[in-house]
Structure 1
Amino acid sequence: MAAPDLQPAVSDCAFPSPSKQTSGLINSVQTQVQCLTFTDKILITISQSGKLSHWVHVPLSLNSADPMNPGIQSSSSENSLLPMTHLTATTILGGTKAEDEVVGQTLATTIGSALLMRNPGEERLLVVGMGIDKAAENFTGRAQFDEVVGLVLEVLCAARQLSSTVEHSHSDHVRPHWLAPTRTKASVEEISRPKNAFMIYRLDLHATIAAQNPRMHNNDISKIIGVRWRVEKPHVIEAYKKRAEEEKRQHAIDHQP
């Protein structure tokens, strides 16, 4: 009697979650963005040079917001550049360079803000994996953030269309101009943009807190910075706005056409 075949049956099956990917040039570097959507999570990866070195998660539900901060967003032009104040990014893997972690967490909360702008009722956990070359050097300007968020929204829109039965997959979606994906020709050299007031404040305060508390984890430092910015004295915020304006003017001088 022949021995029974104990080899497990293997068959090709579709991955149980919709996925979509796109790519574009950011700071003249090819950047791949991929999105996997689950019923309880949204997973986004942003990779340059095949890297994924920093992972964070951002709870989008208002139930997880800081009770001291209900997440009401000011309509001022300065705050319109910033992530929604109730969102907090927590590093779950990587993020060993403090300056790069600050940029990564800010990018993740910016993506979370864009998701909530598109769908205010979104409650899934956002998980973002990033592998960005010299993030602290190259991703401190609004333009770079806008381009990344635009690529992310592109794959999110495509993934949503893929998982639905809607036939009009090429319909246009109205969204703020700064959320539109921007593509750059490889032959054009991009210039990094000046930092806004919050980024300057965050980088300054991170160094100060880290020096005073060398054993404090970067996640805790970032949370402290977010809280302090929201309750900071008006004259301090105004001083950082002036620094940002000065940096903008100097940037224009340094990069005259």
Structure 2
Amino acid sequence: METARLKLRQWQTSDLELFAKMNADLRVMEFFPAVLSRAESDVMAERMRSFIAQRGFGFWAVELHESQAFIGFVGLHVPTAELPFSPCVEIGWRLGFPYWGQGYATEAAQEALRFAFAELKLPEIVSFTAIGNRRSQAVMRRLNMQPEPETFQHPDIPPGHPLREHCWYRLSREERAMGRCLRLKRYRLHPATRASTSKPGDRARPTIPQGEAKKITGSLLGTGPCHEGTPDDKRKPFNHMPCFIEATAKSRVEIE
């Protein structure tokens, strides 16, 4: 798969050294429990390569068209941890520090979302991160993903660890189809992130209440509320994800 500046592809042996350097960078791994050794990094890359080979999608290696340089990964994944919103498919990214701040994560993630909704026909995509990770949340907002009000304790991170509390965002296929119109109801940082990182004297930033956001979405679509129920209702995980996960494990989706 390709974008104007990037290529999303299967992993190659030549990626491993650069990937290991990236995973040993404290800046890149700030919101992960620990940096990775070369052996741990190689194991992770092999898992991602195998996942793509088996299912036809995954965390793709990303390279620049101009230089063919490997810059990190972006893509889709089925989390193995038992999360409050499981079963699900997540979108995620990790880029080397020299490639931050240039829009690469958003550009590649937009293509991954296109693939998720147009090719895999998924009804919804989620993304999650530690509540202090403002950079990743900024990418989620640029993708027009919506934050859920409830945070959760990530089961793979030990109790008491400062990175255990996570926030999560979601985007439905219908919301994605609205494209630029969704900017009218884009949220600020997740409330838990604002609370955890705010300083005395900071001005409160207005947010759109979830109920009002649903009304705006419905009016733009001309079909009423985007999700049935009152603003206080919790949206349930889509119920045919187990069937999708089983089906994609059996038949590979071809990727250009």
Normalised by the length of structure 2, the TM-score is 0.29
Q: Over alpha carbons, which structure has the higher Rg?
A: 1
**Structure possessing the higher relative contact order (Cα contacts under 8 Å, 6 or more residues apart):** 1
TM-score by length of 1: 0.29
